[in-house]
Chain A
Amino acid sequence: MTSGRPAASAGAGPLPSGSPLLELDGVSTVLAGRVVLDEVSFSVGAGELVGLIGTNGAGKTTLLRTILGLQRPASGRIRLAGVPVGAPRLVGPNRKVPVGYVPQKVLLDPDLPLRARDLVELGADGERLGPRLPSAARHDLVDELLDAVGAAAFADFRVGRLSGGEQQRVLIAHALAGRPQLLLLDEPLANLDLRSGQEVVDLLHRLGVERRIAVLLSSHDINQLLPVMDRVVYLAGGRAVAGSTDEVIRSDVLTRLYGHHVDVLRVHGRVIVVASPDAVLDHDEPGEVAAPAPSRAGS
């Protein structure tokens, strides 16, 4: 699925060539005595788009929070551009490689006195102390990002009153304002209709191609990501398999991961993962499974 892009592991800027941007090696995370992540290993190269696929409760959010340093792993190593990610140091921008994060549920108060552009601006300098001085460069950056995510039209409206899809774009612009090399998104498509979801997928794909930003996004549905994904990390019961979709989304591989027999069906370009005898494992709603594949090719 590398879709004719320049070799993903070539590395941008300061990265030593050949080493991946993000590298997880045997990462286990324990929450309240329960093993949520069990020896997870995979890597993400610069500019790659990697889908983190799994059912609800598979550990997707915990994995993203662990990578961010918000959750301490019980064992294993996480490296960002070769530098170990430790416990969260709590002041200021503390990573050598800036990471952007779009959490799954951001409940924005509709009366919050912030315009969409204000939230994006906080993505550029929200962690800094002291009063903010006016800056033309920052203003231009905000305008550029709002434009890039297609949020320019509602830049001056209260961010809490925007629709879910509009807020998603603003939050992506917020994450981009920190000039990240890696963008982590937690279920960015979960609350969007198919069309808005497709627009967000196209946007994320473009970021990788045009800005060389690596994207790791979680989803419980693989199908919207199929056309754009470079690689997939499939999570089930805290364990993960990683690779290209052709390597991972296979009956034998997923059967081993789930620990019981699983069939992978390919219908009209869509993937449906079915446990024997008849349980649908990837939480597709019945109506959505029946819908045709998104007609626009991702690349």
Chain B
Amino acid sequence: MLTWLFEPGFFSNSEVQMALGIGSAVALVSAVVGVLTVLRGQSFAGHALTESAATGGSGLLLAGVNPFLGFVAGAVAGAGAVELIGVHDPRRRDLATGIVLGLSIGLASLFLYLETTVSATTGATQQILFGSIFAVTSSTIPVVAGFGAGALTIVAALYRPLVLSSVSGDLAAAKGVRIRLVGLGQMLALALAVGLSSIAIGAILSTALLIGPAAAALRFTRRLSLVMIWSAAIGVGTTSLGILLAYYSADWSGGNGLPVSFFIVALVFVVYTGSGLAGRRERSGSRTARPPATVQEAAALPGTPAAAGTLAAGPRTSGRRRQGR
């Protein structure tokens, strides 16, 4: 059975093993950090960091150093730049983010141009922007393990303050949460996740692995802990399946395998689209299950003219609003 699915030697193929291991680890970190990123509405910041990750990766490639370290360094530097320029006001924050993003792409294009023309590295652009997980060597394991553990530790430590401040900054501040510091921690975790997923599917596409599983998981369930588990499962599942499909695509396409990134991103898209249907069912389910508590309470109240007036208007309008969503 397994030999029918997987050709003999599949799991002993160290290239594939390495890709599956690194890919799963990276997907796990991205999916978990991604949930908080989506919750806090920082998808755009996440995207900007992918660009600075590309800058870092291409820069180190040009310098002749392992580009994987460059992804992480670039993303962290980008996060620092956004935080330095950026401010609390969301609109000005988006501007700061956009400007960092522009500079990053410009630098990346310069580095990649120099790399391909001066050093004549043919696959440079493909490797940096779209990933090269089958080229990952064992020297990358400590990088992934270390930074991955770092990102997950930050998320675990700041979990409650992060969630509360994403619900409402005022509520969090009133409870004494240091909002700015918590935000910095989240940015660092985000930068690490972006840097790591650049290794799997390239800098440009790393947002997909960050945002996609989280966004899909958020449609499945209304419990945050379950959202985390769903997101991790979707991330690891799509990445592993993508690696598998890319490995086999060499057989279908006659020689050259198709890029892993394409398969992963396509699978994430399919899951996200599918989750929309599942999410719609969950929403309508919650609507019918809702007890008419307000109506009963309203009926039990003494019928002053004012109360009677609101009884007619209040609960029904709020119910309609809920159904509309």
Contact = CB atoms under 8 A, between A and B. Distances in A.
Interface of A: 68, 70, 88-95, 99-101, 103, 106-108, 110-115, 118-119, 122-123, 125-132, 150, 153-154, 157-158, 161, 163-166, 171, 174, 178, 193-196, 198-199, 291-292, 294-296
Given A90-B177, A99-B174, A129 B157 contact: yes
A89 B223 contact: no
Contact of A294 (B163, B304, B313, B321): B304
Contacts of B221: 113
A176 B170 CA distance: 16
B159 A131 contact: yes
A98 to B, nearest CB: 9
**Top 10 closest pairs, chain A to chain B, by CB:** A90-B178, A163-B318, A153-B293, A101-B174, A126-B164, A193-B310, A103-B170, A295-B304, A127-B175, A195-B310
A88 B173 contact: yes
Nearest to B219: A111
Contact of A157 (B164, B218, B290, B318): B290
With a 10 A CB-CB cut-off, give which of A126, A165, A193 has the most chain B CB atoms: A126
Given A106-B170, A112-B39, A195-B314, 20 more contacts: A88-B176, A89-B176, A90-B179, A93-B175, A94-B176, A101-B171, A113-B224, A114-B163, A122-B163, A127-B164, A127-B175, A130-B159, A131-B159, A161-B325, A163-B315, A164-B318, A171-B171, A194-B309, A194-B310, A195-B306
A166 B294 contact: yes
Nearest to A156: B222
Contacts of B159: 130-132
Contacts of B178: 90-91
A126 B322 contact: no
B293 A119 contact: no
Contact of B314 (A91, A101, A122, A193): A193
B172 interface: yes
B160 interface: yes
A131 B156 contact: yes
A127 B160 contact: yes
B298 interface: yes
B99 to A, nearest CB: 26
Contacts of B173: 68, 70, 88
Contacts of B180: 90
B297 interface: yes
Contact of A118 (B224, B291, B315, B321): B224
A295 B175 contact: no
B307 interface: yes
B227 interface: yes
9 contacts: A70-B170, A90-B177, A111-B218, A113-B221, A115-B222, A127-B160, A128-B160, A154-B293, A164-B318
Given A88-B173, A115-B223, A163-B294, A127 B161 contact: yes
A285 to B, nearest CB: 13
B90 interface: no
B80 to A, nearest CB: 20
Contacts of B290: 154, 157
Nearest to B175: A127
A292 B158 CA distance: 51
B208 to A, nearest CB: 20
Most buried by B among A113, A123, A196, A291: A113
B318 A292 contact: no
Nearest to B170: A103
A190 to B, nearest CB: 15
Contacts of B286: 157-158, 161
Contacts of B313: 193
Contacts of A130: 156-157, 159
Contacts of A157: 222, 286, 290
Contacts of A107: 168
B181 interface: yes
Nearest to A166: B294
B interface majority secondary structure:
helix
Contacts of A150: 297
A93 B309 CA distance: 43
A68 to B, nearest CB: 6
Contact of B174 (A91, A103, A114, A165): A103
Nearest to A106: B168
B181 to A, nearest CB: 7
Contacts of A195: 298, 301, 306-307, 310-311, 314
Nearest to A153: B293
Contact of A126 (B175, B302, B314, B321): B175
Contacts of B218: 111, 113
A92 B161 CA distance: 9
A106 B171 contact: yes
Nearest to B217: A113
Contacts of A171: 171
A93 B176 CA distance: 6
B12 to A, nearest CB: 37
Contacts of A103: 168, 170-171, 174
A129 B168 contact: no
B188 to A, nearest CB: 15
Chain A CB within 10 Å — which of B39, B218, B222, B294 has the most?
A: B222
A195 to B, nearest CB: 5
A23 B120 CA distance: 74
Contacts of A94: 176
Given A158-B286, A178-B175, A126 B163 contact: yes
Interface string B49-92: 00000000000000000000000000000000000000000000
Contact of A296 (B157, B297, B302): B302
